[in-house]
Chain A
Amino acid sequence: MKKQDLRIVIVGGGRVGLRTARTLDNRGHTVTVIEEDPIRSDEIADEYIATVIEGDATKPSILKQVGLEKTDVLAALTADSGTNLAACLTAERYGSPIRTVMRRTDEDSKEYEDLVDQTIFPERAGARAAVNAVDPGTRALEDMIGNLEILVIEVTEDAPVAGRSLTDIGLPTGSLVVSNADGDRIAEAGTELEVGRSYVVATEPDVEDEIVRLFRG
């Protein structure tokens, strides 16, 4: 049976790693962070969003402490591609089956595609935010909304809201279904949430996990 919450390991509790951990925790997933620096490790533990393992994630003895056999996804997000690649490869060796996401430091997205499931290049999103600030007349989406998350979220078959209209469901305060399935109309009371279609939902961080649980099961 499909598990509803993912077990996620994040390698590197730096700015990218911590931000990622926070967002995933908000969605109700179980997160473990591996962080080498003791001071940073305490800071992350203080946030109470993830279990923290303190150590060098390229060492199998450290990586194994996250319980790889139960982990669904490992995201290696340190600033060093060597460390990230080593962590992904070690995880694939010991974890079964595990998805690996690797942060790369060069623009070429093809470089690691045979070795890990997905690579990301967070600097591009950072650059986009910078461009938005420099040229605010034309803004890309991700930087315009303080703490709100704007999600494009697909309704699963088992989801509590599947097949129901917006009048029938109770959404928590701090959330709003913005558009209908096609993304060309603003949602209204009669809008039906169809299985397999995606909807744009705006949500405050507090209730994001509930939204994910209602739409994704």
Chain B
Amino acid sequence: MSEAGDRQPEAELGLLDATMIGMGAMIGAGIFVLTGLAAEIAGPAAILVFALNGVVTAFTGLSYAELAASIPKSGGGYAFVREIFDDLASFIMGWMLWFAYMIAGALYALGFAPNFLELLHVYGVVGPPDEVSAVALPAVGVDVPPAFLLAFVAVFLLAALNAVSTAAAGSAETIFTIIKVSILVIFVAFGVASPMFSGAEFQPLFPEGSGATAILPAMGLTFIAFEGYDLITTVTEEVENPRENIPKAIFISLAATVVVYLAVVAVAIGTLGAEGLADAGEAGIAAAATSFMPTGLPIIQNGGALIVFGAVFSTLTALNAVVIASSRVAFSMGREGQLVPSFGQLHHQYGTPFIAIVASAVVMLGSVALPTQSAGNMSSLFFLLSFVIVNVAVIRLRRERPNMNRPYKMPLYPAPPILGAALNLVLTGVLVEYLIRTDPLALGLSIGWILLGGVAYVALNRYRARTDTEGETDTDSDVSPVTDD
């Protein structure tokens, strides 16, 4: 006999696994990295920001549940849109969603770095994060900030790992997420019990000057904290009893995430105060924890270190999840002929979508040079736009395919997708306006990516026209079991 295969196929995922994939992606990102930034914009109203985002995103969650239950494809939002929209619209959707994930990867890497430095600092390996000196790279003759270098290395290593190994993330993800949530529960418990929290001050709720309107841009920035259900739908084909479990996983992960967020943000603001939180930026939660967690514990010494470890662990696992998710979007687009075909090819030895991973990694590595806030802004912007299209896809499918079997039908149709699309558009508008005022770099790069997409689309159509004339035929008839009709 010849070479028998030796790579392990993917495992089946249960309801718990699917829920944890969604929660794992959401909880890594928003809470540790973005709480500080949200507090900076909205003050104590950051709590409201997360609550309202949960409401807005629930409408899109309903749309995802309906689509994922009736369309058995593991491409996430792109696969659903591809089903009902023409080439251009589905290309735009895939192009935007791919970018959203890649920038999210950069965001998580940028959130990982300062928290990792903080962890090293807690154990006295290095000085306080802001005093760690730049790392000189003699080879290129420039000094690189250590946080940037760490973020770069994290992306590089995780991309390399995923490029050469298909080790199924599913069950490991469940354990990871349980660890993350447990750490946050410890954080909340100690925070609520601490004397700092009993004197908590949530007034004035809204920042002076901008007032209640300040929560809108903060909602835009932190919207990415709720992108996890798209991630659930990128693995639907591996889930058991999917038409029941996928909608459940979407709703449970969303609800649980909102609860965790609200508790954590309330404690962080209650103990550190909105200003203190804002000053700590990406390491906000970690800074809050070091302020009230007990010290002098065995082994870990400082209780705050546990939370900092949670932040490091969460950002890293979330980064891993989006490395996979971004390459899956690119892989799906390649297989649909919407990116060059090599994106849709498995590697001959590793069995991974190698080119798709490498291409995604290149964009992510470039993006870690961005300021954290710009990465958050851009990623949120593209998720918002993608979700608008997903909501419209639900409406189009209901109109054009009335007889499609829908194992899960959302209640109160058409209100949820209309509200979902409208609210996402409002947040997009607010975010764009906010970017014009404060972050022209992010806006410019976003527009640049869309223009680049236009160029890619035209070039691809040219290429397609050329190859189509070269070789027709070649259908699947060459793959046939040894039997004839």
CB within 8 Å of A: which B14-42 residues: none
B481:A54 contact, CB within 8 angstroms: no
Indicate whether B351 reaches chain A with its CB closer than 8 angstroms: yes
Partner of A2, one of B72, B84, B350, B474: B474
In the complex, how many angstroms separate the beta carbon of B479 from the nearest chain A beta carbon?
5
Interchain nearest-CB distance for A128 vs B (Å):
8
Quick one: which of B71, B72, B401, B475 contacts A65, CB cutoff 8 A? Answer: B401
Contacts of A25 in B (CB 8 A): 72
B3, B6, B482 — which one has the most chain A CB atoms within 10 A of its CB?
Answer: B3
Known: A67-B83, A67-B84. A173 touches B8 (CB 8 A): yes
Taking a contact as CB atoms under 8 Å apart, the answer to whether A169 and B349 are in contact is yes
Closest chain A residue, CB of each to CB of B7: A172
- State which of A29, A72, A150, A213 has its C-beta within 8 Å of the C-beta of B346: A213
Whether B480 contacts A188 by the Cβ 8 Å rule is no
Query: Is the pair B485, A124 in contact by a Cβ cutoff of 8 Å?
Result: yes
Q: Does A80 contact B (CB under 8 A)?
A: no
Does B72 lie within 8 Å of A50, measured CB to CB?
yes
User: A87 at interface (Cβ–Cβ under 8 A)?
Assistant: no
In contact, A176 and B5 (Cβ under 8 angstroms): yes
For the complex formed, measure the closest distance between the CB of B368 and the CB atoms of chain A, giving whole angstroms: 30
Chain B positions within 8 Å of A141 at CB level: 482-483
Which of the listed residues A122, A170, A174 has the most CB atoms from chain B within 10 Å of its own CB?
A170
In the complex, A167→B1 CA distance in Å?
Answer: 13
**CB within 8 Å: A-B pair count:** 186
Residues in B whose Cβ lies below 8 Å from that of A30:
73
Cβ of B351: which chain A residues have Cβ within 8 Å of it? 170, 172, 210, 214
Q: Is A195 an interface residue when CB atoms closer than 8 A count as contact?
A: no
Contact pick for B243, options A45, A65, A99, A171, CB 8 Å: A45
Interface string of B462-485 (1 = CB under 8 A from A): 011001100100111011111101
Minimum distance in angstroms from B240 CB to a CB of chain A: 10
Q: Bound complex: CA of A115 vs CA of B476, how far in Å?
A: 21
Q: Is A84 an interface residue (CB 8 A)?
A: no
A164-210 contacts to B, CB under 8 A, are: 164, 166-178, 186-189, 191, 198, 200, 206-207, 210
B417 at the interface (CB under 8 A from A): no
Residues of A within 8 A of B405 (CB): 41-42, 44-45, 51-54
**A55 close to B (CB within 8 Å):** yes
Of A27, A52, A200, the contact of B404 (CB 8 Å cutoff) = A52
- Nearest to A188 among chain B residues (CB) is B2
**A177 and B2 form a contact (CB under 8 A):** yes
Give the bracket for the number of chain A residues in contact with chain B: 35 or more
**CB–CB A53/B401 < 8 A:** yes
Chain B residues lying within 8 Å of A160, measured Cβ to Cβ, are: 345-348
Q: What's the interface size class on B, roughly?
A: 35 or more
Q: Interface digits, B230-242 against A, CB 8 Å rule (1 contact, 0 not)?
A: 0000001100011
Contact call A4/B348, Cβ cutoff below 8 A? no
* Chain B binding surface SS class: loop
When the two chains form their complex, are residues B403 and A54 in contact, meaning their CB atoms are under 8 A apart? yes
Q: Does B121 belong to the interface (CB within 8 Å)? A: no
Which residues on A sit within 8 Å (CB–CB) of B467? 1-2
Asked if residues A48 and B335 are in contact (CB atoms below 8 Å), the reply is no
Q: Report whether B9 and A207 are in contact in the complex, using a CB–CB cutoff of 8 Å.
A: yes
Contact with B along A1-35 (1 / 0, CB 8 A): 11111100000000000000000010101100000
Q: Knowing A46-B243, A207-B9 are in contact, say whether A169-B482 is a contact too (CB < 8 A).
A: no
Contacts of A167 in B (CB 8 A): 3
Residues of A close to B302: CB separation below 8 A: none
Q: Which residues of chain B in 429-485 are interfacial with respect to chain A, using CB atoms and an 8 Å cutoff?
A: 460, 463-464, 467-468, 471, 474-476, 478-483, 485
Q: Please, which residues of chain B bring their CB within 8 A of the CB of A171?
A: 3-7
Is B344 in the interface zone, CB < 8 Å from A?
A: yes
Whether, in the assembled complex, B407 has its beta carbon less than 8 Å from a beta carbon of chain A, the answer is yes
- Residues in B with CB closer than 8 Å to A210 are 9, 346, 351
Within 8 A of B (CB), among A93-110: 99
- In the complex, the answer to whether A51 meets B72 with C-beta atoms within 8 Å is yes
Taking CB atoms and an 8 Å cut-off, the chain B residues in 336-384 that contact chain A are: 336-337, 340-341, 344-351
Query: Smallest Cβ distance from B222 to chain A, in angstroms?
Result: 33
Q: Which of B83, B402, B478: most chain A CB closer than 10 A?
A: B478
Bound complex: CA A189 to CA B460 (Å): 38
The answer to whether B335 touches A156 (Cβ under 8 A) is: no
A125–B483 touching, CB < 8 Å: yes
Are A48 and B72 closer than 8 Å at their CB atoms?
Answer: yes
Distance to closest chain B CB from A8 (angstroms): 9
Question: Is A133's CB within 8 Å of the partner chain B?
Answer: no
State the CA gap A67–B82 with chains docked (Å): 11
Is A212 at the interface (CB under 8 A from chain B)? yes
Q: B interface vs A, CB < 8 Å?
A: 1-9, 70-73, 83-84, 236-237, 241-243, 334-337, 340-341, 344-351, 400-405, 407, 460, 463-464, 467-468, 471, 474-476, 478-483, 485
18 interchain pairs (CB within 8 A)? A1-B467, A2-B471, A4-B335, A48-B237, A51-B83, A53-B405, A65-B403, A65-B404, A67-B83, A73-B476, A151-B479, A151-B481, A158-B341, A160-B347, A172-B5, A172-B9, A178-B1, A210-B346
